[in-house]
Amino acid sequence: MEEVDTSSRERAIFAAGAAKASNEFDVGKEVTALGTSLFVLGFASGPLIWGPGSELIGRRWPLCIGMFGSSFFTIGCAAFQDIQTLIICRFFAGLFGVSPLCVVPAVLSDLYSSTYRGMAISVYTLAVFGGPFLAPVIGEFIAASYMGWRWTLYLPAILRFSDVCFLLLFSRETFPPLVLVGKAIRLRRQTGNRAIYEEQERLELDIDAVIRNYLTRPLRMLATEPIVLLVSVYMSYNVVMAITVLNSRERGGIIHTNILAHTGAAVYNHVSNED
């Protein structure tokens, strides 16, 4: 779950250093805010790639490729010295970085039966929702320290590289049809019988199915399911934005202390998932 937690934290951790980045590049805060906006746009676009990809080439390689690509572009964000490169790299970091959020639920479905799957998904949910609460806390203190705002980008990249190395060394493919493909390949080599194959080997990418399942379905659910719309509005505003606004602008104080209000929501998220 470390890769999921890192992905969820990366969405919000840069926002803590956006003001300092704005001062360094001598641009408005609206421009540096694009670093977060385009990252989220990449998050929204990535499932169109990683969702179908995990059904075609398995779970392992989309995870590794996505996390490596996100690390590469995140380091580009931190290392380059112009705002244009930072904004562009943030989009691609989000595009690649969303792969764990798309693929890990499928991995859990492969590994756990329906009896234990609910518990596994609860831990996954904890990682997904806990990251954005804790990221502002971590990011504010990093940006205010001698390390500077660039380390709000270097740190997630380093964690992702370590996750990629761990997956390459210790993980195995979990997608059952692809496991059967490997078995069919071994049997063909051993027997010389070319008639042995698995249906997954003949599967082709269906663009219409990708658009129907991964692009239009979330929009249809948002438009036709009131509970989805209400929860989306609640999570995007009340939980994330209003906490900081109420504790910093209305009650006064320095942001480095008031940002700790996010830890209350993080603790609640942990406790509710444990229950």
Please give the pLDDT value at position 13.
80
Domain edges within the chain: 2-170
Above 90 in pLDDT, residue 245? no
**Residue 227: is it exposed, middle or buried by C-beta count within 10 angstroms (0-12/13-18/19+)?**
exposed
- Compute the distance between CA of residue 164 and CA of residue 268 in angstroms, rounded to an integer: 30
Specify the CATH number of the domain 2-170. Answer: 1.20.1250.20
The proportion of the chain whose per-residue pLDDT surpasses 70, expressed as a percent, equals 81
107 vs 125: CA distance, rounded Å = 14
pLDDT at 66: 92
pLDDT 10s digits, 165-194: 998 998 888 888 888 888 888 888 888 877
Across the chain, mean pLDDT equals: 79
3 state SS for 79-91: HCCCHHHHHHHHH
Which residue, chain included where needed, has tokens 């572009």?
Answer: 73
Q: Report how far apart, in Å, the C-alpha atoms of 101 and of each of 30, 148, 161 are.
A: 28, 28, 17
How would residue 22 be classed by pLDDT, with cut points 50, 70 and 90?
confident
pLDDT digits over 193-243, tens only? 777 777 777 767 677 777 777 677 778 888 898 888 888 777 666 655 555
